[in-house]
């Protein structure tokens, strides 16, 4: 198993907020690798990487998700 992530070029995005004034956002980077076909398998793969601290994949632990947007709050239920 490779420890690399691959995604189609058109579905991968990365954003870096260098001009934002808050300390947290100056160090923030968000990457979107698209959907994971087998998130349970990917979770195990990430946990097996030596030195990996956390993967932030919440497999089977989240029932609702609230996302703040410029237009308000978006709610997703699973």
In a domain, 28, yes or no: yes
Number of domains in the chain: 1
In a domain, 1, yes or no: no
- Say whether pTM exceeds 0.95: no
State residue 37's pLDDT score.
84
Q: Which of 54, 57, 53 is nearest to 40 (CA)?
A: 57
Kindly state the tokens that stand for 3: 């420890």
Q: Are 29 and 40 in contact (CB under 8 A)?
A: no
pLDDT at 64 over 80: yes
pLDDT, mean of residues 37-65: 80
Residue ranges making up the domain that contains 38: 9-77
In a domain, 21, yes or no: yes
What is the CB neighbour count within 10 angstroms for residue 28?
13
In a domain, 4, yes or no: no
Q: Are 42 and 60 in contact (CB under 8 A)?
A: no
State residue 2's pLDDT score.
44
The answer for 21, left when phi > 0, alpha when psi is -120 to 50, beta otherwise, is alpha
In a domain, 3, yes or no: no
């Amino acid at each position: 198993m490779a420890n690399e992530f691959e995604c189609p070029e058109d579905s991968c995005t990365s954003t870096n907020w260098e001009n934002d004034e808050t300390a947290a956002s100056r160090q923030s980077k968000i990457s979107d690798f698209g959907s994971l076909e087998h998130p349970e398998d990917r979770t195990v793969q990430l946990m097996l990487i030596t030195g990996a601290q956390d993967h932030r994949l919440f497999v089977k632990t989240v029932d609702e998700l609230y996302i703040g947007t410029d237009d308000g709050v978006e709610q997703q239920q699973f």
